[in-house]
Structure 1
Amino acid sequence: MTLGNIRTFRVAAADLNGQMRGKRLPRSAFDKLAEGSVRMPLSVLNVDVWGADIKDSPLVFDSGDADGVMMPTERGPVPLPWLDTPSALVPMEMFHDTGMPFLGDPRHALRAVLERYAEKGWTVNAGIEMEFYLVDDSGPVLNPPENPQSGRPLSGNAILSLRQLDAFDGFISAVYEACEDMDIPAQSTISEAGLGQFEIDLEHREALRAADDAWLFKALIKGMARKFDMAGTFMAKPHLDEAGTGMHVHFSVMDRQGNNIFDNGGPEGTAFLHNAVAGCLEALPASTLVFAPHGPSYDRFVEDSHAPTGACWAYENRTAALRIPGGSNKARRIEHRVAGGDNNPYLALAAILGAALIGIEDGMVAPPPISGNAYELDLPQLKPDWTSAIAAFEKDPMIARIFPKALIKNYVLTKRQEQERLAELPVEQHWKTYLEAV
């Protein structure tokens, strides 16, 4: 899109928690964006979930918290349909004055992984299932939203209920219209297992653009929910007695001729697929921090809840961490089911795709696929809590092959700072921190 009659617009990049950090600018500044006219402190992308600077950050304070240069991404401006005043957002990335990417920018981390695929002549396509809750946050605790038709709070689970989809038709229709305006490829919508929980699938696209879609979609849901007098949230477990919120990533890899390197003409997939599965499984424990980045994220890892707790894979089995869906051989792909909805999509895809590539490069051998209920098997486990997840991410050799050393250190510092501050807050108040921040 062009700005048209829009008089002001926003520029923003994703910080380590996936929050949008940026500025509001006049229309006259738009034509100068590509010249690097927007400058912001490097620290702005490396703050904690409350927006506070990270103590002793090596990415920031070794340089005296210098300014970085913000440059527009390939996306270009997108409208923000949930705002009353016509507005647009220009997604940005952070660079140093030298033109080098700022290593604290999570989008650069994903781009670096995808460049390693490109060196082999490969392109990664990804489709993302986005689960979220609609909630009533007007009281001291979170409650299910009112049914727009009856005016009464939701009181029963409605998995795959068309009746519940129809009840929220105004909101869902507005989301689809906004997705079309923003070029977010929304596909099917379902009513999920939790009270007020929904899932909208985003169509497969080149992986960097798919991550952009997920990042923008989260902002869209939160903004549009407010227009309908609700809150939209991607918290991993907004209601402790309801289903958790996941972000499932489907991905395949295409060669220069447009062939899927996971497709061998049959349901089992190629050796490359098995290598990629092995890499993802090997990296799962140390990647837990990326897939569950916040203290309350760990409430989601409950047995028999379709939130994987063990490192395993299977064909057409939703209790497994990695699932190989059925369907057309040409669409053979891996579904990575571990990430919570509260993650940063850029870091999550970097962790998943980086691990898969290491599995291929190292010729890793996957264990046999499981059958039956994964929760009943003796499997290598994800990290069970925030403390152990931080420690594993900090020291793991596979993580060091996926992410820059400086980003690893800063992410660990960020999470430890958040852990200390969260411990000072009453548990019953934690949702106020995360409701719309994640």
Structure 2
Amino acid sequence: MSPMAHQEQLDRLATRNDIENIFACICDLNGTLRGKRVHVDDAAKVLAGSVRMPLSLAGLDIWGEDIETSALVFETGDADGRCLYTGRDIVAINWTTRPTALIPLWLYQENGEPFLGDPRHALNAVMERFAAMGLTPVVATELEFYLFDPTEPVPQPPLSPVTGKRLDSDGALSLDELEHFDSFLNDVYAACEVQGIPADAAISENGAGQFEINMRHIGDALRAADDTVLFKRLVRGLARKHGFAATFMAKPYGHRAGSGFHVHFSLEDSRGRNVFDNGGEEGSELMHSAVAGLLQTMQENTLVFAPHENSYRRLLPGAHAPSNVAWGYENRSVAVRIPGGAPAARRIEHRVAGADANPYLVLASILGGALLGMEKGWKPTEPVEGDAYALEGERPRLPPDWASAIDAFAEGRHVREIYAKRLQRMLVDCKRQEQFRFNRHVTELEYHAYLETV
């Protein structure tokens, strides 16, 4: 970024004389923002690249613990990297006790090369390959989340701000539920406008207290991922301000719908033409190759789409989330859906990822998989008509559990065509450490079932 661009950001920040402190943050492999709080007077230094943080910060586990087997620690002595400004506008934060701001950064090595364990760099590398082909992904994300009552020891649906009663039924597309939480949703949209996040439609989803907010299509996948990371933080912060809590956990309730992270995308050429459009409903051959790439790489990339122990509760057969590697036209039971509509708007919807996934890695895996299919001229299987959930055993299945997904990502030959070896190793090490901790934890259900019965 040029000094002039930096000055524009500083001038905008100067109009907010109520902001005294700022957060300088990078995003780790789990999608968690990590960084430092500094005085607003140091904003110019942050933009100029003065902030340094350990490169290993990008690979901490979900509890913020160092990875015991981290090659970075042993190879470099846990060396610092340079944290450079991403170019995304400085983000104002108004839901904290006092207004603050956030400067988004990404990690570079001392020699000025991108640190390839940074998830934002992983997505950027895929975008550079599309640019070399003269193509631009046009991307929109859809995120589901639950509001819940934070005063209970385990999640419970929130109390309605209107009636004071706890929500106790599923309310898909319920206008009443949207109206009951109108004040919260208004603040979400207002904050999105301040932060430049292109929030579009909001709906009440299938679970009690569950909502979905969609983003508008934009021709900048990095910006779409930035917006999604910031949106998740914004929703959690505003929920607390309204006396709720918000979660993007994939399956917070065993008996209610899970929360997904669906991605819609098309590709434009240098003339702005949608290359998935062939004038008909079936879409172009290039779109078919992109679909084939998504299917071919899906099992290896499931760890990205379902990165946590809880993620696999959402992907169980019959849980209304994809469990088979399949695609189809206007079919919401498949993993890859081709929505209907005008041919000029032909696009692909990827429906596998949970709301708990890292947006940078999700977009890198989806767009990288599509790119491989296009580069190699792959052909997809036949599209599924009807219930894809009933195809158990007839189509390849997604890894059924966390351990299988970790192994598939670790051994995936297509993973190495999308991601740098550094990131592949870091994510596998991180997830194996988390899995080891979960494996050592004995649950209350196990005590109830076995303690005095076996």
Question: What band does the TM-score fall into relative to the shorter chain?
Answer: over 0.9
Aligned counterpart, 1:46:
59
C-alpha distance after superposition, 1:45-81 (max 9, x if no partner): 1100000111121234311111111011121201112
C-alpha distance after superposition, 1:322-352 (max 9, x if no partner): 0001112111110000000000000111011
C-alpha distance after superposition, 1:297-319 (max 9, x if no partner): 10001333331000010000000
Identity of counterpart residues, as a percentage? 51
Distance change in 2, residues 1:247/1:74 (3 Å): same
Separation in 2 of the partners of 1:397 and 1:427? 36
SS in 2 for 1:295: coil
Aligned counterpart, 2:409:
393
Q: Are 1:262 and 2:276 matched, yes or no?
A: yes
Distance change in 2, residues 1:428/1:351 (3 Å): farther
The answer as to whether partners of 2:48 and 2:85 remain within 8 angstroms in 1 is no
Match among 416, 419, 435 for residue 419 of structure 1? 435
Q: How many residues matched? A: 429
Instruction: Please give the root-mean-square deviation of Cα atoms over the aligned residues, in Å.
Output: 1.2
The answer as to whether partners of 2:148 and 2:156 remain within 8 angstroms in 1 is yes
Q: Are 1:295 and 2:309 matched, yes or no?
A: yes
Separation in 2 of the partners of 1:121 and 1:219? 34
Separation in 2 of the partners of 1:104 and 1:286? 18
Separation in 1 of the partners of 2:154 and 2:249? 14
The answer as to whether partners of 1:59 and 1:104 remain within 8 angstroms in 2 is no
Aligned counterpart, 1:153:
166
Aligned counterpart, 1:63:
76
Distance change in 2, residues 1:199/1:231 (3 Å): same
Q: Match for 1:390: what amino acid?
A: I
Q: Give the structure-1-normalised TM-score.
A: 0.96
SS in 2 for 1:204: coil
The answer as to whether partners of 1:278 and 1:365 remain within 8 angstroms in 2 is yes
Moved more, 316-325 or 80-89: 80-89
SS in 2 for 1:252: strand
Q: Are 1:33 and 2:49 matched, yes or no?
A: no
Q: Which has the larger radius of gyration?
A: 2
Separation in 1 of the partners of 2:444 and 2:103? 36
The answer as to whether partners of 1:311 and 1:382 remain within 8 angstroms in 2 is yes
Q: Are 1:309 and 2:319 matched, yes or no?
A: no
SS in 1 for 2:13: coil
Shift of 1:33: 2.3
Shift of 1:187: 0.4
The answer as to whether partners of 2:184 and 2:238 remain within 8 angstroms in 1 is yes
Shift of 1:98: 0.7
Separation in 1 of the partners of 2:443 and 2:183? 34
Shift of 1:427: 3.9
Aligned counterpart, 2:420:
404
Separation in 2 of the partners of 1:182 and 1:107? 19
Q: Match for 2:42: what amino acid?
A: A
The answer as to whether partners of 1:59 and 1:103 remain within 8 angstroms in 2 is no
Distance change in 2, residues 1:428/1:262 (3 Å): farther
C-alpha distance after superposition, 1:383-407 (max 9, x if no partner): 0001110000001111110010111
SS in 2 for 1:114: helix
SS in 1 for 2:144: strand
Q: Match for 1:349: what amino acid?
A: L
Q: Match for 2:421: what amino acid?
A: K
Distance change in 2, residues 1:428/1:315 (3 Å): farther
Shift of 1:426: 4.5
Separation in 2 of the partners of 1:29 and 1:339? 38
Aligned counterpart, 1:279:
293
Shift of 1:428: 5.9
Separation in 1 of the partners of 2:330 and 2:366? 19
Separation in 2 of the partners of 1:306 and 1:258? 35
1:187-202 → structure 2 map (5 Å cutoff):
187-202=200-215
Q: Are 1:380 and 2:396 matched, yes or no?
A: yes
Gaps of 5+ in 2: 1-8, 446-454
Aligned counterpart, 1:436:
none
The answer as to whether partners of 1:58 and 1:406 remain within 8 angstroms in 2 is no
Distance change in 2, residues 1:261/1:60 (3 Å): farther
SS in 1 for 2:369: helix
Separation in 2 of the partners of 1:34 and 1:222? 26
Shift of 1:241: 0.2
Distance change in 2, residues 1:265/1:48 (3 Å): same
Q: Are 1:371 and 2:385 matched, yes or no?
A: yes
C-alpha distance after superposition, 1:157-179 (max 9, x if no partner): 11001011000001001101000
Aligned counterpart, 1:135:
148
Aligned counterpart, 1:319:
333
Aligned counterpart, 1:174:
187
The answer as to whether partners of 2:316 and 2:400 remain within 8 angstroms in 1 is no
Q: Match for 2:210: what amino acid?
A: Q
Match among 362, 367, 392 for residue 353 of structure 1? 367
The answer as to whether partners of 1:12 and 1:21 remain within 8 angstroms in 2 is yes
Separation in 1 of the partners of 2:316 and 2:159? 27
The answer as to whether partners of 2:24 and 2:36 remain within 8 angstroms in 1 is yes
Aligned counterpart, 1:88:
101
Gaps of 5+ in 1: 430-438
Separation in 2 of the partners of 1:169 and 1:291? 31
